[in-house]
Each structure stands twice: as structure tokens, then as C-alpha cells.
Amino acid sequence: MSIDKNNILYDTRSRKVHRDEQGELKATSVKGCHKLDVYNWLQNIPADASYDIYEVKFKNTRKGYFKNVNNLNLKVGDIVAVESSPGHDTGIISLDGPLVNLQIKRHNIDTSRYEFRRIYRKAKSADIEKWQEAVSLEHTTMIKSRQIVTRMGLNMKIGDVEYQGDRTKAIFYYIADERVDFRELIKVLAEEFKIRIEMKQIGARQEAGLIGGIGPCGRELCCAQWMCNFVSVTTSAARHQDISLNPQKLAGQCSKLKCCLNFEVDTYIDAQKKMPHINAPLDTVNGPLYHIKTDILKKLMWFSYDKDMPVNLVVFSADRVRELIKLNKKNIKIENMESISENIERPDSDFKSAVGEDSITRFDEKKKRKKKSRSNNRRNDKKTEAKETNDNNNGAQQQEKEKKNNQQNGKKDGGSPLNHHRRHYNKPKEKRNDEGAK
């Protein structure tokens, strides 16, 4: 349903309040904020008039079931004023028709004994304005209440605050590991905020459902989206599924074990019953075969000749392992284990990267190559410099050797006309230099 932004009156509690084509006030949920919403797969089927019970949603995961005693024409998304104690509360109709009865059964509500509260009327503009004023006070009230709790030294945490629609009462959701005497706290909060106080204790899982969020699977938290009953989760659920007992991976945002660990436990337990129980290693000609691991769903078992290391693994199906155990019970040693083992071919994955054939680190590789080329150039430059210095040193050494040899030859051949010419030629230069210096 597309909503004109100009028609939106309020945007609160993950709902947008606007007026429809008939001018009536409606509320639609924001995408990604469907806390405990139920998909009405019977919405296009006309319902009977006998269904007068409606599901009304309030803040976060709080819901209630109310009776339409005034025979109002109500639909999903209508903002209504409902009965409360004391006064009235303002909520949004989230479900109607026969699915409401199914939800009542799901929450284990006995309709013969349960007293349904009444729906007074559709909310008027004055009701919604007062409701919005109460909603705007919730955050500041929660911060102040937390300061009061710390000042009083109580071992509890205020998780959330919800005001009633007529601003006469507020519900304080708190978390505490032990029993807390908060009678004095209620008096202080009533004097501070001038309202009636109601305290509700919740657990860490319920707090995560109230706040909401995204889980490691990339979807909304189950406790915020559809779960309403929390079953205890133990580490035995992870053991049955052969999941590593890493507390960082097993814990959810509530710092408790993930509720999804219980979703597939029954399947694994049933499949585990069909697997053979191995109490001793398999006796073979080459030595005992020790059980290393099991794939419960594929019904495959891995064995190794080394008890501590998975070396030269041999794979058998569950039925083949039963046959081998029967042979061992008859004191028959198994031969040619490799020939009777299962050949497991890993199928090629059809996954293709969105980038195409290029790898994600293609730019990093180029940078590395540049660094290598620069380092190689530096090495080559250093080698050439070293060669040049060696050549220069060798040339200088050769020149010095030649001078020494010439001097020695000159001393030996002192009377030769050539050396005499050299000595005679050098003397005028010294005189010329002396004249120039004068």
C-alpha cells in the first residue's frame, strides 16, 4: 500500500498514522518492523459477522484481544480506543476474522473463562494527539528511571517504558536476576512522573524481542518476529547437531543460547537413532579402524587407522558399517577396506561471483606486483652501483700498478733518451707553474 508522504500525520512506534481516501485515520507498519505480526492469508475472503474478537497491538510485542460490543465497522490498521484499568488505552487493530480464534488457541486462552475487554470507539484526533504526547515522554522517562534505580542501589535494569494512551499509567519493564523489593521505587517513580506505575519483569530473551534487531542469519530476530513462547535451550542441542561448542557463535543478541538451536534437534535425534552404535574399533587385516566422525543426515561414517589423527580416512555408509560389525562379531577380519569404501564425489558449486571472473582481491594483487617491481628495480640499481664501484676500484688499482711499474722502469732505465726526454719535459712545466705563481 503506497502512502502519500503529505498525508502522514505521525510516525511513531514503527507505524505511520495517515488518513485514507475516506478521511479515516489509519496506521500502517514500517518495513522491517513487523514484531509478532501475523500474515492474514484469509484477508480477501469475506468473514462472517460472528467474529467480533479483534487482536489489538500496542508497543513492541504487547498485544491483546478485545471484543467489538458496539458493532463498529473495523478493519486492520484502524486506531481504536480500548478498555483499560484505569481509563482507556490506544492501539492498532492488527488481525481480524477467523485467524484471531487460532491465535487465541495458540496462546492457550480459555474463551469460556477469559473476560474480553471492550473496544470503545475509533480513535479521534484528540485521542491520537494525547497518545502521541504520551509516546514522546517514554524515552526521557526511561532514562530518568534508570538514574533513580542506580541512585537507590537496586540490582535491576529498566529495559523499556510504555505509556498508556490516556497518559494515566505507565508500564516499566525491568530485568533482574534476583528478587527485588521495589516498593520504595514505585513511590519515588509515582511522585516523579505523577502517574500510576506498573512493574513487569521480563527476561533477557523478552528484552531482545522488545528491542528487536537483525540476527547473524541476516533476518529479523525470531523473538521479535513470530516467537511468543520461549523454550529452554541447552548445549545438548548443539551436541546432537555436531555443532562446535563455541559460546560466541552459539549465543544470540540476548547473550543466551540461540533459540534456533531447538528448531532442528528432533530431526537430528531421529536420524541419529538410525545410525549404528560403535563401541569398539573395526577389526581389519591392516589393523583396527577407529571411528572419527559421522554425517548424520547423509548417513556416512568416517574411519581412520590412527586413533588420534584423521589419516587415510575410509568412508562407509551406515548399512555397510552394520555388516562389518556383524562380521567382527563372528571373529572375521575385514580385508580390502579401500575397495569397499564409498567414493564421495564433491559436486561443483554453481555459485558465480557477482563481479564475474575477476577476484575481489584483483586490485590488491596489482599493488603487490608494483611493490615487487619497485623492489626489483631497487635491487638492480644497487647491483649496477656495486658493479660501477667495483669497476672504478679495479681501474684505480690498475692505474696505480701501472704508475708503480713505470717508476720502477724509469729507475732501471735512467740513461735512456726516452726517460731523459720525460724528465726534461717535466722540468719546464714546474718552472712555468712557478712563474705563474709569481
pLDDT of 324 > 70? The answer is: yes
- Residue-range domains of the chain with CATH: 5-124 (no CATH), 134-208 (3.30.300), 231-271 (no CATH), 275-340 (no CATH)
Task: Read off the pLDDT of residues 292-310 as tens digits, 9 standing for 90 and up.
Answer: 888 888 888 888 888 888 8
Residues contacting residue 41 through CB under 8 Å, at least 6 positions apart: 99
Alpha carbon distance 297, 318 (integer Å) = 11
Say whether pLDDT at 226 is over 90: no
CB 14, CB 92: distance < 8 Å: no
Give the per-residue pLDDT at 191.
93
* Model pLDDT for residues 255-284, shown as the tens digit of each residue: 889 999 999 999 999 988 888 888 888 888
pLDDT, one tens digit per residue, over 162-191 is 999 889 999 999 999 888 888 899 999 999
Predicted pLDDT of residue 393: 63
Lookup: cell for 366: 596489482
Q: What is the pLDDT of residue 222?
A: 86
* pLDDT reading at 81 higher than 90: yes
Q: In which element (H, E) is residue 398 found?
A: helix 362-412
Task: Give whole-number Cα distances, 360 to 94, 353, 363, 369, 423, in Å.
Answer: 46, 9, 8, 16, 79
Averaged pLDDT of the chain: 78
**pLDDT at res. 261:** 92
CA distances from 71 to 52, 116, 121, 324, 349 (A): 8, 15, 10, 73, 59
Structure-model confidence comparison of residues 391 and 200, the more confident one: 200
The DSSP output letter for 383 is H
Pairing of strands 25-29, 287-295: unpaired
Mean pLDDT across 192-203: 91
Q: For residue range 107-165, what is the model confidence (pLDDT) as tens digits?
A: 888 888 888 999 999 988 888 889 889 988 999 999 999 999 999 999 999 989 999 98
List CB contacts of 393: < 8 A, sequence separation 6 or more. none
Backbone φ and ψ for 50, nearest 5 degrees, come out as -75, -20
Q: How high is the pLDDT of residue 421? A: 45
**Alpha helices of 153-250 — where are they, by DSSP H?**
183-193, 204-211, 222-225, 235-240, 247-250
The mean pLDDT value for 38-61 works out to 79
- 258-283 in b/e form (b: 16+ CB < 10 A) is bbebeeebeebeebeeebbebeebbb
